[in-house]
Amino acid sequence: MSAGQLPYADLPPAYHRWKWRVLIAYFAFYSFNYLGRFNFSLVQPAVIADLGVTRADTGWINAGMFWGFALGGLVWGRLAERAGFRLIILLGALGTALFNVLASFAGTASGLFAPWAAAGFLNAATWAPGLALIAQWWPRQERGRAIGSANAAAGTALLLVWMTAPWVASIWGWRAALRWPPLALALAGALFYLAVRDRPSQAGLPEYAEPEGVSRAAEDASAGSERGLRAYLHLLKNWRLQIACHVRGLDTLARYGLVSWVPVYYAQAGGFDLKRMALVTFAYPAGLMLGPLTGGWVSDRLFKGNRSAVIRLAALLSASAIAGVALSPADSAPLAALFLIAGGFAISMAPVHALAVDLAGRRLAGTAAGLLTFHGYFYAAAQAWFFGWLSLASPDGWTWVFLIMAATRLLSAAAISRVGA
């Protein structure tokens, strides 16, 4: 046990009040985050109609955002460990809003690409540093639920943008959906910065001592690897973390494949107008909000920290739900809602982020979360282009899009079985 640390059970009541303050503040902040990240995906039909572009064109624009987010994940998590988590998160919120406004003035697909990629890069500053911040306050025995709550905030964020962006676009046009809602994210970032502290020591409190196990071993092994590029090199040698990174990539391919293409699919193949499309596909972010809370609790309590078993179960369940989207009639609103809420729930219940932080330890939590983000959004960028092309490549293109997504879930289940942690 290091100096300044206490066993978790011996920490003072003020510590536990602060840990909840940090978690609740991050949940509230991140609930606004997708107002500046997935607003474009939800107004794609309007962009296609207004600018005279194709699904492949908007797929490239989305790919730019995902590539930007992937690169940002690699940079911001590590930088936040040195510069401070809440400062980097504030920078991400303000920068995302700025580049959304700039993107709203674009008149061509190529004009949208650069500011949207920049928005993705800066928005990444709100995620990996946030998970690392939570890891400073929540030890492994409760980390599944804590990081599950952060992932639930992502579901809440999707619910909010799903309600907001199509509604704003239907009244004032798609440019307004990129121009005004992201300002709420900027305000939320400023309030979050004022509400939290990076580490217990900044609030005059002792830190928790990680008990024996995976995370304690990770913290001991990372001693001396906390500066510069050594942090990356240390984590890249961890084969279990590398598998987790690729599993996250496959998860993100399906997760954001659905975010990117479900609205377009039901608008074009199902004949839903913008408002009806938003109402039906609202089921997907509802599932995304509920799944992480369940997965975190199950992995902490029922599986005693065995995240891999829960990730495998989530992959198998989500494969079935996505196959249901592929094989059911596109104009059936009840079936669409059923499979989307089930798919969102199952995909998001996988505690991959908690596993990555467990395998890295709290000191390198930002770097580990950043590596996970890089892999996740590299895969997400690939799907944004590939599925846009595939949907146009044959008369059955949409069916193949969702069947391939389902197949990636089976691949995730096979890969995570090797990790066993």
- Measured in degrees and rounded to the nearest 5, phi and psi for residue 407 equal -65, -35
Report which DSSP code applies to 363.
Answer: G
Strands (E), 168-272: 207-209
- With both helix axes pointing from N to C terminus, report the angle between 365-393 and 55-83 in degrees, rounded to the nearest 10: 180
CA distance 257 to 267: 16
Question: 3-state DSSP call for residue 208?
Answer: strand
Q: At what angle do helices 397-416 and 239-268 cross, to 10 degrees?
A: 160
φ, ψ dihedrals at 208, nearest 5°: -80, 150
Whole-angstrom Cα distance, residue 62 to residue 58? Answer: 6
**Does the pLDDT of residue 319 top 70, yes or no?**
yes
- Compute the average pLDDT of residues 2-20: 90
Per-residue pLDDT tens for 27-82?
999 999 999 999 998 899 899 999 999 888 998 998 899 899 999 999 999 999 99
pLDDT over 80 (residue 219): no
pLDDT above 70 for 305: yes
C-alpha–C-alpha distance, residues 336 and 353, integer Å:
28
pLDDT above 70: residue 1: no
pLDDT reported for residue 222: 61
Convert the pLDDT of each residue in 332-350 to its tens digit: 888 888 999 999 999 999 9
Give CA separation, 348 vs 47, 150, 250, 341, in Å.
29, 11, 12, 11
Sign, CA dihedral 185-183-252-79, equals negative
Architecture of the 13-195+222-416 domain: Up-down Bundle (1.20)
Is the confidence at residue 157, as pLDDT, over 80? yes
Specify the range with the lowest mean pLDDT, choosing from 226-230, 238-242, 286-290.
226-230
pLDDT tens readout for residues 351-373:
999 999 989 888 899 999 999 99
- How does the average pLDDT of the chain come out, rounded? 90
**Average of pLDDT values for 164-189?**
96
Residue labelled with tokens 């619910």: 159
- Domain map (residue ranges) of the chain: 13-195+222-416
Cα separation, 61 vs 30, in Å, equals: 23
Residue 331: predicted pLDDT? 84
Partner residues linked to 6 by β-bridges? 208
Instruction: Provide the pLDDT for residue 220.
Output: 65
For residue range 201-214, what is the model confidence (pLDDT) as tens digits?
Answer: 999 999 998 876 67
* pLDDT 10s digits, 248-299: 999 999 988 888 788 888 888 888 876 777 777 778 888 888 899 899 889 9
Element (H, E) at 399: helix 397-416
369 contacts: CB under 8 Å, gap ≥ 6:
73, 77, 127, 128, 129, 131, 132, 353, 356, 357
pLDDT for 226 equals 64
∠ CA 395-397-402, nearest 5°, is 145
DSSP for residue 109: H
For residue 283, which of 324, 327, 248 has the smallest C-alpha distance? Answer: 324
d(CA 244, CA 368): 10
